[in-house]
Amino acid sequence: MNNYYIYLIMYSQNNHLNFKLKIWMLSLLLLITLIILVGGLTRLTDSGLSITTWELFIGTLPPLSNEKWIDYFNLYKTIPEFNEQNFNMTLSEFKVIFWWEWAHRQLGRLIGLVVLLPMIYFTIKNGLWILKEYVIIFLLVSLQGFVGWYMVSSGLVDRVDVSHYRLSLHLVIAFIILSIVFWKFLKLTNLRNNQITIKLNSLKFFLFFIFLQLIVGAFVSGMDAGKIYNTWPLMGSTYFPNDSSFTEFLNLEVFDNPSIVQFIHRNLAYLIVFIYLYIFYTVFKNKNFILRSPILIIGLSLLFQIFLGILTILSGVKMFYASLHQINSIFIILSTLYLIYITKYKEVSY
């Protein structure tokens, strides 16, 4: 067999493997997006503490008898959230919050299997390079499971909610996993951008501040900080919340103040818009037509995000607006990663 036919066979095999890997990464991308959505709704419905034990394996099946439901409910009755906040809750009402947390945990288990089983299969069939390339996803998903319980455990003893710091860590790890999966998906595509002529280093700063905003947004959610100062553009009658002072920024506990956290969240949004406008100006100034559509898409999603944020605040954090606000942040991050990818890679080879 001559070299030409050997090359055709190898190219066909690589194409076939890449297609399978893309399906794998795309499946993970959809599942992670779904679990972020369900996780957000679990938080918005105050359902995260409804299951008070970790149940790494035995929690796969839901309660199948009334006695089992009562057992779960009795465990919930021992924590501060029930005793101080939900002491009038009925078993039927408990079942509603239970199903949200149970679904969230089942999605986590499913994601773990969808990472692990294909990774083992592809490694056995195609070599250790698969393990080296994708094991980071499995390690982060495993870490996320531990962090999830670390977060839940913070709300079982001395407080009625989970720690907003641990909630933030849990959310950021989810977005890091999402970003890595999407980046690996992009590397498996046929993107070729030989006409990219400018470097947009400011995109990395833009992405950094988006992630920083995610952290602060988790603080806002964890402390229910969005339910105070339900006005915009001012916070009440002033730009800076009048129940706080600037000197609090010198205190390490500044992020325990809901008013200041909401203030930071608002102003980070303004800063992100200014960074985006600089990137927008750079792209159009250089007349790089390939980048115009992606940068416009990011701009529209950013505008929509700010609109949703304002609606969330003005509505007193209605679930519909708050949930859309979180979903749209996924789109902003993925579209930004796409733009970073096509400006960094002029050609992708296999």
- One-letter amino acid of 149: W
> Which pLDDT belongs to residue 347?
42
Tell whether the model's pLDDT for residue 328 goes beyond 50.
Answer: yes
Query: From CA 214, how far away is CA 208, in angstroms rounded?
Result: 10
Q: Average pLDDT, stretch 308-327? A: 94
Query: From CA 123, how far away is CA 114, in angstroms rounded?
Result: 14
Q: What are the extents of the domains in the chain?
A: 1-189, 192-350
> Quick one: which of 108, 115, 138 has its CA closest to 21?
115
Predicted confidence (pLDDT) per residue in 22-33, tens digit: 999 999 999 999
Structure tokens at 296: 């416009």
Tell whether the model's pLDDT for residue 195 goes beyond 80.
Answer: no
- In sequence order, the β-bridge partners of residue 192 are 347
> Which pLDDT belongs to residue 4?
41
Query: From CA 207, how far away is CA 218, in angstroms rounded?
Result: 17
Beta carbons within 10 angstroms of residue 208's beta carbon? 11
Q: What value does the mean pLDDT of the chain take? A: 89
Q: Which of 163-172, 221-230, 279-288 has the lowest mean pLDDT?
A: 279-288
Predicted confidence (pLDDT) per residue in 111-138, tens digit: 999 999 999 999 999 999 999 999 999 9
| Contacts of range 301-306, beta carbons closer than 8 Å, 24 or more positions apart | 301/328, 301/331, 301/332, 301/335, 302/272, 302/273, 302/276, 302/332, 304/328, 305/269, 305/329, 305/332, 306/269, 306/273
pTM, two decimals, is 0.90
Selected residue with higher pLDDT from 342 and 8 = 342
Tell whether the model's pLDDT for residue 346 goes beyond 90.
Answer: no
With cut-offs at 50, 70 and 90, classify the pLDDT of residue 61.
Answer: confident
Tell whether the model's pLDDT for residue 95 goes beyond 90.
Answer: yes
By the 8 A CB rule, do 194 and 283 touch?
no
> Which pLDDT belongs to residue 10?
42
> Which pLDDT belongs to residue 196?
58
Phi, psi of 192, rounded to the nearest 5 degrees: -135, 125
> Which pLDDT belongs to residue 285?
84
Tell whether the model's pLDDT for residue 224 goes beyond 60.
Answer: yes
> Which pLDDT belongs to residue 60?
79
